[in-house]
Amino acid sequence: MSENLLEVKDLYVNYKIYEGILKVLNGVNLTVKKKEKVGLIGESGCGKTTTMKAIMRILPDNALIPNGNIFYKGRDILKMSDDEIQKIRRENISMIFQDPTAALNPVLTVGAQLMDVIKYSTDEELTKREIRELAIKALKDVALPDPERILKNYPIMLSGGMRQRICIAMALISAKELLIADEPGTNLDVTIQDQILRLIGRLVEERGISVILISHALGAVKGLVDKVYVMYAGDIVEMAPTEKLFSDPIHPYTQALFKTVPKLTGGGIPEAIKGRIPDYINPPKGCRFAPRCIHAMPICMKEKPPLKNIEDEREVACFLYE
């Protein structure tokens, strides 16, 4: 299929730690089409960021990939040489990290960092003046006032919202085809988060690029993406177009997760999902959600349910829908 920009196929990622091997990703499958806006939701520790880091090939040294493929326009990222992946990171895919303060170097000015990114984003020899003009344009694109001054500022002189905008500006320089946004603005205030998300939405629309938006703030995802993947303990448990997923979730985990979100309409907070996220050293053999699932059947404890297409554009990994 040529329209698939990115295709993650049966991806497993383990981390080697002192206590043993953490089996984190348990066969992840996801696809991103051209110009598609994709959401990835799930609680912390479910493997969202690990999946994205695998795509960017920036997993830490103790990570092992025993199985799986990540096809980018038909070519496997995992098999590329360092030069090739470097070229992709520089021209095609880029990532916005959750904490804009940690993502920027505190001892360099914004201008120095941003112009560095611009300089190395292309093979062309740009003059200093051209680089500077591109940097100013990049800052204007993310609606930052007074870009000339900001170029001279150090990150600490700017607010959290402005730092996040700078990170977006930097990422967009290299994200000519796919932007990965890992919890953008979720540690910022709600009005700032709202501004950041609208900005990302507008920019990807204008430039016709695809985006993967990761968040545990479910409402934030809802307003921006076309389809959503739900992740639990290293598994994709459900995928559906955004409207369908939020109006009619079908996987027991998705249903339970939506119930625990406090509603603006009030009515109290329903009981939490019982139990806790599984131990990744000894994960449950069958469905990883089975020990906490209210519909669990004997087969759920033995076999891992495959992610199956059940209707148009809708996939679920659950034996209830076999």
Partner 1 sequence: MNNDEIIQVKDLKKYFKTSLGIVRAVDGISFTIREGETFGLVGESGSGKSTTAFTIMGVYEPTDGEIYFKGSPLPKSVKKRPLSLRKEMQMVFQDPGSSLNPRKRIGQIIELPLRVHRLHVGRERERVKELLEMVGLPVDFINRYPGAIGGGEKQLVAIARALASEPSFIALDEPTSALDVSMQAKIINTLLRIQKELNLTYLFITHNLSLMRNVASRVGIMYLGKMFEVAETSEFFHKPLHPYTKMLLSAIPVITEEEEKIKPKRVISRGEIPSPVNVPSGCYFHPRCIDCMEICKKEDPPMVEVSTGHFVKCHLYT
Q: Contacts with partner 1 in 191-250 (CB under 8 A)?
A: 191-195, 197, 216-223, 246-247
Shortest reach from residue 67's CB to partner 1, in Å: 28
Q: Contacts with partner 1 in 83-102 (CB under 8 A)?
A: none
- CB contact at 8 A, 273 and 261: no
Q: Give the residue with the Cβ less far from partner 1, 107 or 264.
A: 264
Asked if residue 258 binds partner 1 (CB under 8 A), the reply is: yes
For 287, the 3-state DSSP assignment is: coil
First to last CA, the chain: 26
- Measured distance CA(86)–CA(81) in Å, rounded: 9
Query: Token digits for 136?
Result: 């100013």
- CB contact at 8 A, 195 and 188: no
**Helix, strand, coil content of the chain in percent (nearest 5):** 40, 25, 35
- CB contact at 8 A, 8 and 30: yes
Q: Give the residue with the Cβ less far from partner 1, 43 or 99.
A: 43
Piece of the chain touching partner 1 by CB under 8 A; list 102-110, 122-130, 270-278, 300-308: 270-278
The residues near 178 (Cβ < 8 Å, ≥ 6 apart) are 5, 6, 32, 92, 93, 94, 209, 210, 211, 212
Piece of the chain touching partner 1 by CB under 8 A; list 119-127, 269-277, 278-286, 306-314: 269-277
Number of residues near partner 1 (by CB under 8 A): 41
Query: Token digits for 167?
Result: 């990170």
Shortest reach from residue 17's CB to partner 1, in Å: 15
- Measured distance CA(262)–CA(260) in Å, rounded: 6
Question: Residue 15 is inside which H or E element, if any?
Answer: strand 4-17
Piece of the chain touching partner 1 by CB under 8 A; list 48-56, 233-241, 267-275, 314-322: 267-275
Shortest reach from residue 265's CB to partner 1, in Å: 5
Beta strand pairing call for 4-17 and 178-182: unpaired
Query: Token digits for 235?
Result: 């598994």
Asked if residue 267 binds partner 1 (CB under 8 A), the reply is: yes
Asked if residue 282 binds partner 1 (CB under 8 A), the reply is: no
Asked if residue 260 binds partner 1 (CB under 8 A), the reply is: yes
Q: Give the residue with the Cβ less far from partner 1, 17 or 299.
A: 17
Asked if residue 257 binds partner 1 (CB under 8 A), the reply is: yes
Q: Give the residue with the Cβ less far from partner 1, 138 or 213.
A: 213
Q: Give the residue with the Cβ less far from partner 1, 159 or 309.
A: 159
Asked if residue 271 binds partner 1 (CB under 8 A), the reply is: yes
Amino acid present at 261: V
Asked if residue 20 binds partner 1 (CB under 8 A), the reply is: no
CB atoms within 10 A of CB 288: 26
Residues that bind partner 1 (CB under 8 A): 43-44, 159, 161-162, 189-195, 197, 216-223, 246-247, 256-258, 260-273, 276
